[in-house]
């Protein structure tokens, strides 16, 4: 690592009166003492290589090593000068600033092509002499204290890793596959349900469900209650469905899924006077002036529920959970979730607004893993014995590891996501068609308890896990294989669903 920083320390007054002393201060007090502190013997720390007084500024060039990085040396200087000139001369340190900062190093992985990190503090980023040269600019004290330099370097590293990650497509490993089931039906459930008037599309990916699909999805929920939630003693909670952006910032969904959220804004001004022009416009034209409306709204303050669990972890922020209260097991089904799927929208299996039961658990590591096994067992029972599905399960790279460009999965198999996939006959052959991920289960390890800084009272780690049960997806997986005629459905399912409600007829 090679570091070279150009910047200054700014004082509250002109400091030219220090002119005669500054050389001695730099060479005898700073370079030989202050910048050697904490540096291992025989290793280089940091060093001011050029200095010049200019009005109320001390202009500096600092070179440094990994043992004392120049930006940390600059923070040290601020404290030093506050003491050194503050007491005797009543001069304060007003600011520290980095104008140019070049860092050259050998990255742990060499970038295969151009890496870009687009933030205003990066002036240049390129390969030089087989190393990476990062030129930074305009970092003030708060940028330095908030570790922007370190964060920029780790972001660069993440991007290099992520490029490599994309290159390796195989991040899917089959764990188990059910026996083949006889294909009873091969139509597209969404199309057939639309034809019968069971569902109606109100907007892209958003559907109205009439009594029959509503009953089918409630039946799925009932199955989950009877065969999973109650036997495993999960309790219901109501989690907020409009999520402050800060919550996602902590979980990493922001920025990870920034392009998929539905954002929420509210009126900038509450007073009706402020809205009168909009009222008038609509009354006169019968149209909604979207630009005018946009002006009246705040920037997004939150987003619609995306994954249900994040606000639950927030509940535990900076708390200690009594050891004997663990494990904690809850579920939420108090509202809809939203995802913008862009071009991917077609049927109910991939919709914008959907209904999901989110099952969340937390405990010590062994407890979290034991609950995972119990859930897996319950799911297998449901899919094999009640829904009678042809399905498989696979280990996949969890979303947050994928986004961070992590590649050492082998050690992390305890953590990770299991996808449950169902064969959809209408999509083609088993071998060549895409199966539907109708369910998944993730053990997140300490990811969320670290994000919100909670532990047990004996200061042990808390592991969390969650599994989302998409009711539309369960329904589609089931219908795609079993069709729309109740007589064809498995007996156990028929017992739970009961007699179907009547269709709503229109002409
Ligand atoms: Zn979750």
Q: Following DSSP, what letter does each residue of 49-96 receive, concatenated?
A: EEEEEETTEEEEEEEEBTTB-HHHHHHHHHHHHHHHTHHHH---EEEE
- CA–CA gap between residue 279 and residue 281 (Å, rounded): 6
How are beta strands 320-321 and 455-456 bridged, if at all? parallel
User: Can you read off the two tokens belonging to residue 358?
Assistant: 């989110």
Catalytic residue among 78, 84, 356, 473: 473
343 alpha carbon to ligand 1 midpoint, in Å?
24
The question of whether 466 is a catalytic residue gets the answer: yes
The question of whether 390 is a catalytic residue gets the answer: no
141 alpha carbon to ligand 1 midpoint, in Å?
37
310 alpha carbon to ligand 1 midpoint, in Å?
7
CA atoms within 13 A on the CB side of 376: 19
User: Can you read off the two tokens belonging to residue 105?
Assistant: 């190093």
Catalytic residue among 72, 188, 349, 419: 419
pLDDT for position 171: 74
The SS3 call for residue 128 is strand
179 alpha carbon to ligand 1 midpoint, in Å?
29
Catalytic residue among 69, 78, 84, 350: 350
Return the exposure string of 461-472: e unless at least 16 CB atoms fall within 10 Å of the residue's CB, then b. ebbbbbbbbbbb
Catalytic residue among 246, 276, 295, 341: 341
438 alpha carbon to ligand 1 midpoint, in Å?
14
400 alpha carbon to ligand 1 midpoint, in Å?
12
The question of whether 305 is a catalytic residue gets the answer: no
The question of whether 250 is a catalytic residue gets the answer: no
**pLDDT, tens digit only, all 507 positions of the chain:** 899 999 999 999 999 888 999 999 999 999 999 999 999 988 999 999 999 999 999 999 999 999 999 999 999 999 999 998 888 888 999 999 999 999 999 988 887 778 899 999 999 999 888 899 999 999 999 999 999 999 999 999 888 887 665 544 557 889 999 999 998 899 999 999 999 999 999 988 899 999 999 999 999 999 999 999 999 999 999 999 999 999 999 998 998 899 999 999 999 999 999 999 999 999 999 999 999 999 999 999 999 999 999 999 999 999 999 999 999 999 999 999 999 887 666 788 888 999 999 999 999 999 999 999 999 999 999 999 999 999 999 988 776 666 655 555 555 667 888 999 999 999 999 999 999 999 999 999 999 999 999 999 999 999 999 999 999 999 999 999 999 999 999 999 999 999 999 999 888
The question of whether 235 is a catalytic residue gets the answer: no
444 alpha carbon to ligand 1 midpoint, in Å?
9
Closest residue by Cα to residue 236 from 380, 354, 353, 335: 335
Catalytic residue among 69, 78, 84, 339: 339
- CA–CA gap between residue 266 and residue 87 (Å, rounded): 51
pLDDT for position 167: 45
Instruction: Provide Rg for the chain, Cα atoms.
Output: 30
- CA–CA gap between residue 173 and residue 102 (Å, rounded): 43
* Residue written as token pair 């799911």: 379
pLDDT for position 411: 55
User: Can you read off the two tokens belonging to residue 269?
Assistant: 């001004």
DSSP 8-state assignment for residue 187: S
Catalytic residue among 305, 390, 440, 472: 440
Catalytic residue among 72, 349, 358, 390: 358
Dihedral (C-alpha) 262, 268, 272, 277: value to the nearest 10 degrees?
-80
- CA–CA gap between residue 152 and residue 122 (Å, rounded): 8
Closest residue by Cα to residue 456 from 342, 355, 365: 365
pLDDT for position 412: 63
Catalytic residue among 84, 309, 332, 390: 309
- CA–CA gap between residue 463 and residue 273 (Å, rounded): 51
312 alpha carbon to ligand 1 midpoint, in Å?
9
478 alpha carbon to ligand 1 midpoint, in Å?
23
DSSP 8-state assignment for residue 486: G
- CA–CA gap between residue 321 and residue 317 (Å, rounded): 10
Distances (CA, A) of 489 to 90, 193, 216, 293, 503: 86, 16, 12, 50, 18
- CA–CA gap between residue 285 and residue 282 (Å, rounded): 5
**What percent helix, strand, coil does the chain show, rounded to 5?**
35, 30, 35
User: Can you read off the two tokens belonging to residue 341?
Assistant: 């799927």
Phi, psi of 469, rounded to the nearest 5 degrees: -110, 105
φ/ψ region of 39 (left if φ > 0, alpha if ψ in -120 to 50, else beta) reads beta
Catalytic residue among 388, 390, 437, 472: 437
Q: What is the DSSP string of 429-475?
A: -TTTSPPEEEEEEEEEETHHHHHTT-EETT----EEEEEEEEHHHHH
465 alpha carbon to ligand 1 midpoint, in Å?
7
307 alpha carbon to ligand 1 midpoint, in Å?
5
The question of whether 350 is a catalytic residue gets the answer: yes
221 alpha carbon to ligand 1 midpoint, in Å?
17
Catalytic residue among 69, 78, 421, 466: 466
pLDDT for position 410: 56
pLDDT for position 344: 63
- The partner residues of 297 in beta bridges, in order of sequence, read 267
248 alpha carbon to ligand 1 midpoint, in Å?
12
The question of whether 309 is a catalytic residue gets the answer: yes
211 alpha carbon to ligand 1 midpoint, in Å?
28
Q: What is the DSSP string of 343-396?
A: GG--STTS-SEEEEEEEEEEESHHHHHHHHHHHHHHHHHIIIIIS---EEEEEE
Chain mean position to CA 204: 25
């Amino acid at each position: 690592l090679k570091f070279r920083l150009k910047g200054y320390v700014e004082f509250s007054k002109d400091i030219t009166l220090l002119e005669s002393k500054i050389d001695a201060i730099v060479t005898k007090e700073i370079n030989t003492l202050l910048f050697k502190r904490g540096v291992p013997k025989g290793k280089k720390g940091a060093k001011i290589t050029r200095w010049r007084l200019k009005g109320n500024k001390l202009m500096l060039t600092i070179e440094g090593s990994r043992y004392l990085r120049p930006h940390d040396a600059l923070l040290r200087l601020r404290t030093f000068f506050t003491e050194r000139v503050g007491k005797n001369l009543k001069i304060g340190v007003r600011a520290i600033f980095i104008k140019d900062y070049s860092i050259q190093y050998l990255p742990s992985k060499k970038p295969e092509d151009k890496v870009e990190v687009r933030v205003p503090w990066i002036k240049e980023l390129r390969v030089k002499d087989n190393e990476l040269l990062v030129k930074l600019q305009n970092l003030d004290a708060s940028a330095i204290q908030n570790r922007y330099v370190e964060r920029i370097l780790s972001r660069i590293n993440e991007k290099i890793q992520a490029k490599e990650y994309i290159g390796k497509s195989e991040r899917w490993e089959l764990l188990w596959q059910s026996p083949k089931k006889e294909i009873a039906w091969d139509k597209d459930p969404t199309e057939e349900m639309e034809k019968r008037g069971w569902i109606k599309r109100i907007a892209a990916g958003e559907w109205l469900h009439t009594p029959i699909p509503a009953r089918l999805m409630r039946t799925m929920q009932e199955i989950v209650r009877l065969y999973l939630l109650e036997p495993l003693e999960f309790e219901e909670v109501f989690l907020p469905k409009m999520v402050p952006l800060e919550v996602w910032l902590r979980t990493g969904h922001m920025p990870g899924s920034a392009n998929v959220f539905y954002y929420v804004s509210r009126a900038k001004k509450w007073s009706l006077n402020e809205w009168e022009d909009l009222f008038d416009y609509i009354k006169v034209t019968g149209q909604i002036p979207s630009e005018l409306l946009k002006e009246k709204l705040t920037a997004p303050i939150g987003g619609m529920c995306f994954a249900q669990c994040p606000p639950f972890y927030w509940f535990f922020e900076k708390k200690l959970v009594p050891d004997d209260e663990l494990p904690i097991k809850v579920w939420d089904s108090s509202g809809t979730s939203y995802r913008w799927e862009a071009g991917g929208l077609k049927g109910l299996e991939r919709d914008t607004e959907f209904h999901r039961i989110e099952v969340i658990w937390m405990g010590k590591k062994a407890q979290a893993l034991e609950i995972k096994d119990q859930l897996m067992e319950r799911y297998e029972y449901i899919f094999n014995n009640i829904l009678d599905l042809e399905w498989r399960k696979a280990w996949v790279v969890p979303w947050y590891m994928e986004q961070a460009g992590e590649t050492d999965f082998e050690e992390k198999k305890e953590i990770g996501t299991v996808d449950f996939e169902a064969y959809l006959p209408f999509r083609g052959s088993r071998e060549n068609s895409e199966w539907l991920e109708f369910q998944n289960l993730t053990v997140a390890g300490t990811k969320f308890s670290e994000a919100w800084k909670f532990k047990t009272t004996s200061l042990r780690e808390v592991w969390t896990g969650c599994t989302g049960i998409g009711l539309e997806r369960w329904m589609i997986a089931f219908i795609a294989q079993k069709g729309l005629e109740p007589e064809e459905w498995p007996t156990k399912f028929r017992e739970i669903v009961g007699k179907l409600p009547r269709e709503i007829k229109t002409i």
